[in-house]
Amino acid sequence: MNFSKKNNKNKNVKHMSKKVILSIAVIAAVGLTSCKKEAKQVTETTTTEVSKELAMTDISFGVRGNCGMCKTTIEKATNSVEGVSSATWDVDKKKIDVSFDDSKTDAMAIHNAIAASGYDTEKASGDLEAYNGLPGCCQYDHDMAMNQ
């Protein structure tokens, strides 16, 4: 007669451990998205693909930001502009190099896309709502010198 009760208890234990595993997974995920993975982001300077980029316009301008996560956000925003073929933001120089097809987009559209993601460029101020949504460590100083 004790059997069913025992079974119930077992179920509960199983349930509990699932919950524990789940919360560990959540903690691990949160840890992974922290800004600490900067070291992983090695700046790549692409000098190859010259022939492919002959038809491309290359520009370079200042963009404020702090860390490797900023780099990811800034480059993602830039690459989302149709016609952009490459984007490399330099965390030390606070500067981005962009190659794009000028029959598909222009420099101002790129400035605006970066600003929409929360980051200041030389020609456009970062969207404040997006800025406030950035992780704390990415909330750069608005007086930061750029294009150094």
Which residues of this protein are in contact with Cu ion, per CB under 5 A?
66-67, 69-70, 138
14 vs 142 by CB, closer to Cu ion = 142
CA dihedral for 63, 43, 73, 133, sign (positive or negative): negative
- Residue number with CB closer to Cu ion (56 or 130): 130
For helices 68-79 and 107-116, what crossing angle results, to 10°?
Answer: 130
Report the nearest approach of Cu ion to the CB of residue 137 (Å): 5
β-strand partners of 116: none
Q: Is 144 helix (H, G, I), strand (E, B) or coil?
A: coil
Beta carbons of 118 and 87 less than 8 angstroms apart: no
Nearer Cβ to Cu ion, position 44 or 141? 141
For residue 85, the minimal CB distance to Cu ion (Å) is: 24
Closest to Cu ion by CB, 100 or 131:
131
Q: Closest approach of Cβ 16 to Cu ion, in Å?
A: 37
Give residue number: closest CB to Cu ion: 138
Distance between CA atoms of residues 33 and 46, nearest Å: 26
